[in-house]
Amino acid sequence: MTLVNMRDEMMKGAPICVAGCGAITAVGRGVSALRSALPVNASGLRPCPEFDSTRFQSRVAGRAPAEEGWRDDPAFGLAATALREAQDEAAGVLGNVRPERLGLVLATTKANIDAMQRRMEGRSCSDSAGRHMQADLLAADLAAEARAGGPVQTVSIACASGLVAIQQGAKLLQRDAADAVLVVGVDHLSDFVVAGFTSLKALDPEGCRPFDRNRCGLSPGEAGAAVVLVREAEGAGLAVRLAGWGNSNDANHMTGPSRDGSGLVLAIRQALALAGLEPGSIDYVNAHGTGTPYNDAMECLALRSVFGEEGPAVSGSKGMLGHTLGAAGVVESVLCITAMREGIMPGTPRLADPDEGAPARLLREPVRGARMQHVMKLNVGFGGINSALVFSHG
Amino acid sequence: MHEVTEADLAGARMGKRFNRLDRMSQLAVLAVEPLVATLEGVSRDRIGVVLSARAGSISTDVEYWAGRDRVGGPSPTLFAYTLPSSAIGEIAIRHGLRGPNLCFVGGEDLVLAEAQDLVRRGEAEACLGVVCDVVTEEAARVLGEAPGARVRAFVVGGK
């Protein structure tokens, strides 16, 4: 099947649009916090005293605001908070959806890993927190909380989980398995993950600096984020729709990206083909942009390969939010959707001195009033996973 | 359909790298090994992998975190396998498969339908489906359930 045929096949399903968003991140609670952070290029990264320097490579992380009672079950708390906000925004559309026609797709890498740590260390852990260390049970309980009685899926595909989960939500709608789908991404900060990146020497002690000449690692973050997807007919008048996607594997290395970016190029080209767009139509790319030397260099090569020397505006958001792993695709998509609604191209918080290989139109600061009709979101992950999404206005 | 269990690992001759993989990845790689030959003639860029892991990566999570107090911290090698999708990466590397990937926690019943859907949509020309049910004894104690290790694999599409 050719790429043109792939597009025709995809378009047989109804176009999908975004009816609501929710987020709780290092810059605060609610999409309003993202909206406030965008124009001032704010960073939510802070030193976190619990990650002491004798055990961890860096204390800098993106900690979301906690609520009373969450710390036993942070994954559920973060995800449920984001879900409620997204459902509230989409209430007008969701009011017409029967519970058995409301689906849920969860994106996570580690679910409530804190509970596993507690059990192995002989510390107390509530039954529900223990249950939520299993991602599919976390998804089932989030669906119950959201009164989503339709299909439930749990996607866990490294740091591309969020983008793949959004695609799965769209596919459920196109197959008419649901009339609306809640896509929620969550991962919480844990000793487990920070120790892992410490062991790989992958953390920047000063906090991540995506695409910076002096970048030397990522900063972990936590977030809950959610989007409500509906078919365009049900969401008539909603501004942002999901136009296309693409996925690939580097088939190269478990923890490092391919040096030439060819795997990511495959995913980007497929997403453009499904969206029916030429590379020159993309106004803005929100990169994966971890701040690790190899990831950012690989992305620069891939972007140049597809878009040429000039290319679209590019920025990265992990200096604002930290690397939120399985939630990254959803929370960074919410950021893109918010930026499209506000007419602001996001900057790259914490970027000081752009690398010489960086994209020609790398944005250090946000740009107001910029054209944001077609936006591409990229994520890549361990195991060579690459994913690209295109969001379009109207 | 090809099914493997723990017992099949004993006689496996899969090369040096294979010994460094976590248990679920070993079983998944072993399960797809005879199936890849049936995909001769299909571009490696057009072969996808869809995998489900009933218990996620809990077995490797537990093994990794048991090493938290060792000098230098827990193992960086094991950390790379504390993702349910790790086995997809290993399969892709071994056979050069660059098509799309999907990974579910739970969702054993989704694998066939999603693999078929990737082919039907034209996102892939062929797809490997891999259903993993791996819980080591140590992980079983943390979860409060019985241990077990079984992986089934199949092919959808192709020439």
- 3 state SS for A304-349: HHHHCCCCCEEEECHHHHCECHHHHHHHHHHHHHHHHHHCEECCCC
DSSP result, B134-157: EE-HHHHHHHTS--EEEEEEEEEE
Identify the three-state secondary structure at position A113.
Answer: helix
For chain A, first and last CA: distance in Å?
28
Identify the three-state secondary structure at position A229.
Answer: strand
Pairing between β-strand A313-316 and β-strand A284-287 as defined by DSSP bridges: parallel
Who contacts A293 (Cβ-Cβ below 8 Å, separation ≥6)? A215, A216
Q: What is the pTM of this model?
A: 0.97
Closest CA to A248 of A120, A383, A101, A83: A383
* Average pLDDT per 10 consecutive residues for chain A, totaling 394 residues: 52 80 98 98 97 94 86 93 97 96 98 95 93 97 98 98 98 96 98 96 97 98 98 77 97 92 97 97 98 97 97 98 98 98 97 96 97 97 98 88
Cα of A56 vs its chain's centroid, Å:
25
Partnered with residue A187 across adjacent β-strands are: A223
Interface A-B: count of C-beta contacts within 8 A: 160
B101: chain A residues, CB-CB within 8 Å:
157, 247, 249, 383, 385
pLDDT score for B11: 83
* Residue A323 a catalytic site member: yes
Domains of chain B as residue ranges with CATH: 2-157 (3.40.47.10)
pLDDT score for B62: 97
* Residue A253 a catalytic site member: no
DSSP result, A9-64: HHHHSPPEEEEEEEEEETTEESHHHHHHHHHHT----EE-TTS-TTT-S--EEBPP
Asked if A145 and A313 count as a contact pair (C-beta separation under 8 A), the reply is no
- Measured CA to CA, the distance from residue A116 to residue B147 in angstroms comes to 17
Q: Active site residue: A288, A300, A336, A374, which one?
A: A288
Q: Active site residue: A17, A21, A125, A159, which one?
A: A159
* Residue A374 a catalytic site member: no
The residue of chain B nearest to residue A152, with distances taken between CA atoms, is B107
At residue B13, does pLDDT exceed 90? no
Hey, are the CB atoms on B98 and A266 less than 8 Å from each other?
Answer: yes
Query: pLDDT grade, residue B12 (50/70/90)?
Result: confident
Q: Which of B78, B123, B130 to mutate to test the interface with A (most CBs of A within 10 A)?
A: B123
- For B22-42, what is each residue's pLDDT tens digit? 999 999 999 999 999 999 999
**B83 closest CB neighbour out of A109, A168, A263:** A109
**B101 closest CB neighbour out of A111, A116, A249:** A249
Hey, are the CB atoms on A266 and B45 less than 8 Å from each other?
Answer: yes
Burial A50-85 (b: 16+ CB within 10 A, else e): ebeeeebbbbbbbbbbeeeebebbbbbbbbbbbbeb
Q: Is B122 on the interface with A (CB under 8 A)?
A: yes
pLDDT score for A211: 98
| Structure-block tokens of residue A299 | 């992305």
| Structure-block tokens of residue A120 | 């192995």
Closest CA to A106 of A327, A323, A388: A327
Hey, are the CB atoms on A1 and B100 less than 8 Å from each other?
Answer: no
Asked if A40 and A98 count as a contact pair (C-beta separation under 8 A), the reply is no
| Structure-block tokens of residue A84 | 């409620």
Q: Is B98 on the interface with A (CB under 8 A)?
A: yes
- For B83-140, what is each residue's pLDDT tens digit? 999 999 999 999 999 999 999 999 999 999 999 999 999 999 999 999 999 999 999 9
- Measured CA to CA, the distance from residue A203 to residue A209 in angstroms comes to 11
Pairing between β-strand B148-157 and β-strand B126-135 as defined by DSSP bridges: antiparallel
- Measured CA to CA, the distance from residue A180 to residue A241 in angstroms comes to 14
Hey, are the CB atoms on B105 and A154 less than 8 Å from each other?
Answer: yes
pLDDT score for A12: 52
Closest CA to B82 of A126, A108, A298: A108
CA of A18 to nearest chain B CA: how many angstroms apart? 22
- Measured CA to CA, the distance from residue A33 to residue A25 in angstroms comes to 8
pLDDT score for A9: 54
Provide Rg for chain A, Cα atoms: 19
Asked if A158 and A109 count as a contact pair (C-beta separation under 8 A), the reply is yes
Asked if B99 and B111 count as a contact pair (C-beta separation under 8 A), the reply is no
- Total residues belonging to chain A: 394
- Measured CA to CA, the distance from residue A75 to residue A136 in angstroms comes to 12
pLDDT score for A8: 53
Report the sign of the C-alpha dihedral through residues A327, A330, A333, A339, in that order. Answer: negative
- Measured CA to CA, the distance from residue A275 to residue A157 in angstroms comes to 23
Who contacts A18 (Cβ-Cβ below 8 Å, separation ≥6)? A227, A228, A229, A235, A238, A240, A241, A242, A337, A391
pLDDT score for A70: 76
DSSP result, chain B: -EEEEHHHHTT----TGGGGS-HHHHHHHHHHHHHHGGGTTS-GGGEEEEEEETTTTHHHHHHHHTTTTSTT-S-HHHHTT-STTHHHHHHHHHHT--S-EEEEES-TTHHHHHHHHHHHHTS-SEEEEEEEEEE-HHHHHHHTS--EEEEEEEEEE--
- The mean of the pLDDT values for chain B is 95
Touching A: B residues 60-89, CB under 8 Å: 61-62, 64-66, 68, 72-76, 79-80, 82-86, 88-89
- Measured CA to CA, the distance from residue A222 to residue A64 in angstroms comes to 6
- Measured CA to CA, the distance from residue B48 to residue B28 in angstroms comes to 15
- Measured CA to CA, the distance from residue A361 to residue A371 in angstroms comes to 14
Identify the three-state secondary structure at position A228.
Answer: strand
Asked if B130 and B31 count as a contact pair (C-beta separation under 8 A), the reply is yes
Asked if A350 and A328 count as a contact pair (C-beta separation under 8 A), the reply is no
**B93 closest CB neighbour out of A3, A133, A251:** A251
Element (H, E) at A155: strand A152-155
A385: chain B residues, CB-CB within 8 Å:
85, 88-89, 101
Domains of chain A as residue ranges with CATH: 10-231 (3.40.47.10), 240-393 (3.40.47.10)
For chain B, first and last CA: distance in Å?
17
Pairing between β-strand A180-187 and β-strand A240-249 as defined by DSSP bridges: unpaired
**A196 closest CB neighbour out of B74, B88, B125:** B74
- Measured CA to CA, the distance from residue A117 to residue A110 in angstroms comes to 12
